[in-house]
Chains A and B, each alone.
Chain A
Amino acid sequence: MRARLSELHPIADMDLNEAQTYISASLHSLFEAFQRVPGSAVLIRYVRSSYQNDPIRSAIELILVIFFVRYLLSPSYPTHGSNYIKLREDEIDELVRDWEPEPLVAERTAFEESEAERIPVVVGPTGPKVKLGNGRTVTNLASYNFYNFNASESIKEKAIQTLRTYGVGPCGPPQFYGTQDVHMQTEADIASFLGTQSAIVYAHAFSTITSVIPCFCKRGDVIVADKMVNYSIRKGLEASRSSIRWFNHNDMADLERVMAKVAEEQAKKKILTRRFIVTEGLFEMVGDCSDLPKLIELKERYKFRLALDETNSFGVLGRNGRGLTEAQNVDAEAVDVIVGSLSGPLCAAGGFCAGSADVVRHQRINALAYTYSAALPAMSAVTASETLNVLQCNPDILIQCRENIRAMRAQLDPRSDWVVCTSDPENPIIILVFKPDVIQTRRLSIEDQERLFSDCVEESLVNGVLITRLKTTPLINSLGPKDTDVNIQPALKVCITSGLSKKEIEKAGTTIRHAITKVMTRKTNRLSGSGS
């Protein structure tokens, strides 16, 4: 083949030879030049010795080295794209010129306007009877003063004494010189009252559960929560960044379904996270109570922990007011986290969390509201201890209050044509919502109901009984687009107190019932209801 090629193209053959000699000569000169480079001898020796008659291994090493060099030469780049647009100077100026600041507080709606005008002003101390700004004295069924500890001279005296000794505020967070002996005493009192190992006192009842939830649950953890939980729990759930599963209000079968699903998913993915059930003792929005024995049974079965918000049930349920645990005969130690308030019936301030010693110790440095808020004023802590002591020694107070609750309910629930009571028979906060058929026949929207109840409040105040509405707006505003099935109903709130006699309560109940009837049978309301 080669011979034939050279016969045909002698010139080509000559060129090939020349090229060959040229290449070998240039390679040789290149090699000599390379040898003159310092260190080249080492490299040549290394390559020679590493070859070792093993081309595959050498090839692997060569590929590794090539990859390595390529990696070193690559330019760096960020993986998060920048989340802003680069603007020119003039564009920035233009945007600044065009910017119109939104008002810090939104313009009030007509309803809010009228609501604000109607807010009654109480002059002097609060109690079962209060004096209003316009000089009238009315029956107060709008405060959480269930046992009228407000009027107790001995408690007041103790608080004043503490104020003289300790001053008003501790002027520091609990971990930063804010803890005083009375705080530790109050914590011990709460723990022994509830029967838990330990307790921790927060400076504000609202922020207690909001802080306790994110203290234990982080991103990736699972929380199963009741759909009707109150605003502060919702804020806590949000702040925890955990993945939240909801179950229908007080529906234990639905809760079990959700828990089983979580357990199954986690078993399949072989992941282990903290799992919590979060629910309330007495629901602020509905007024009914949870089924604690069933909750305990489910949490044990599916290996969850239970955080129970007793803000509305502590001091209320049970023989001595120990809350849901006492009312339903459950050992308080079976509940992992109990959160309660010292500010309602206890007439002090602040909140607490009770549980095992570990649960409490963890919060002392990890709960934001505890670590970064000034501690509770000493007089509030002492007042809480005192009222707890009264509750413990004197369970008759609760019986008296419950009789009043019964008297009030008898006036309202079966007798009124318009409203029903959704709250528990032992709940001194009586929640009244419109009957479903009233809503249906009059086609009442949420706003209509709010307006009607606001009229009812006004009407009953005219007749000498101060009551209030359930404030649903913050909660409804905080609902996401996915929470369409959270059915929060506007409601009237009637707070019972043992500071009034049964007669007075019955009279007030009649007044409220008549006020509701009067508002509902007004001509304008009948028209607007069916017209809208």
Chain B
Amino acid sequence: MEPLEPLEQLSDQSALPNLNANWVNAKGAWTIHIVLIVALKILWDVIPGVSQETSWTLTNISYMFGSYIMFHWVRGVPFDFNSGAYDNLNMWEQIDDGAQYTPAKKFLLSVPIVLFLLSTHYTHYDLAYFTINFLAVLGVVIPKLPFVRYPHLKNSHRMRVGLFSGVPDD
């Protein structure tokens, strides 16, 4: 549907700074992940009847779910600055203008992996918990991979995994 107009697209994208994605490089943007995870853990802990294993697993999957929605599910920007030039890009693709392996992206990939390793450890390597946690971490790690390209998209450096939706067209 979208017209092929790479130059126009790029110039519209650079019309104004992308406030939707640039905050990941701002001060405190990394700490907030840790704070949120701790808050989630406390939240699940205070609910009576939830064991430590379940609490860790819930923390893990709720964080993964939230970050999937935020970074890979929602597309576009909430501001009307770029004439819709970002409409087809999710937040992960917008971060650092689509550059790969940047510090922010490395950090954003480390958080779910470390959280997963922690939760498998604290669920005492129970196979059922492990399976759930592992699937959750795959759900957020695979969409972050840089190297898979769509053959029908020229110069495509991004990958879309449709866990809940189909692969969107460009």
Contact = CB atoms under 8 A, between A and B. Distances in A.
Contact of A79 (B7, B83, B158, B169): B158
A83 B97 contact: no
Nearest to B2: A220
Given A219-B2, A269-B169, A366-B80, A75 B101 contact: yes
Nearest to B114: A68
A218 B83 contact: yes
B125 A50 contact: yes
Contacts, number: 94
B113 interface: yes
A299 B83 CA distance: 25
A99 interface: no
A52 B127 CA distance: 11
A295 B52 CA distance: 65
Interface centre among B10, B84, B116 (most CB of A within 10 A): B84
Interface size class of B (residues with CB under 8 A): 35 or more
Contact of A77 (B2, B83, B100, B130): B100
Contacts of A78: 97-99
Given A71-B106, A220-B87, A79 B10 contact: no
Interface size class of A (residues with CB under 8 A): 35 or more
Interface in A36-84: 46, 49-50, 52, 54, 57, 60-61, 64-65, 68, 71-72, 74-81, 83
Contacts of B97: 78-80
A372 B78 CA distance: 22
Contacts of B169: 269, 271
A449 to B, nearest CB: 34
Nearest to A57: B130
A417 B110 CA distance: 83
Interface string B1-32: 11101011010100000000000000000000
Contact of B98 (A74, A79, A366): A79
B168 to A, nearest CB: 9
Given A57-B127, A68-B110, A214-B83, A83 B2 contact: no
Nearest to B125: A52
A141 to B, nearest CB: 42
A242 to B, nearest CB: 8
Interface in A447-496: none
B157 interface: yes
A219 B155 CA distance: 21
B157 A79 contact: yes
Interface centre among B5, B100, B116 (most CB of A within 10 A): B100
A75 B100 CA distance: 8
A46 B121 contact: yes
B9 to A, nearest CB: 8
A321 B10 CA distance: 46
Nearest to A77: B100
Interface of B: 1-3, 5, 7-8, 10, 12, 80, 83-85, 87-88, 97-103, 105-106, 109-110, 113, 116-117, 120-121, 125, 127, 130, 134, 137, 155, 157-158, 166, 169
Interface of A: 46, 49-50, 52, 54, 57, 60-61, 64-65, 68, 71-72, 74-81, 83, 214, 218-220, 222, 240-241, 243, 265-266, 269-271, 273, 366
30 contacts: A50-B120, A50-B125, A52-B125, A57-B130, A60-B134, A61-B120, A64-B113, A64-B117, A65-B117, A71-B101, A71-B106, A71-B109, A74-B100, A74-B101, A75-B101, A76-B100, A77-B99, A77-B101, A78-B97, A80-B10, A83-B10, A218-B83, A219-B83, A219-B87, A240-B83, A241-B3, A241-B85, A243-B1, A243-B2, A270-B166
Given A80-B97, A218-B87, 15 more contacts: A57-B130, A64-B116, A71-B101, A72-B110, A76-B105, A78-B98, A218-B83, A218-B84, A219-B12, A219-B84, A241-B85, A265-B1, A271-B1, A271-B169, A273-B1
The 9 closest A-B pairs by CB, nearest first: A219-B84, A79-B157, A218-B84, A76-B101, A79-B98, A78-B99, A74-B101, A76-B102, A52-B125
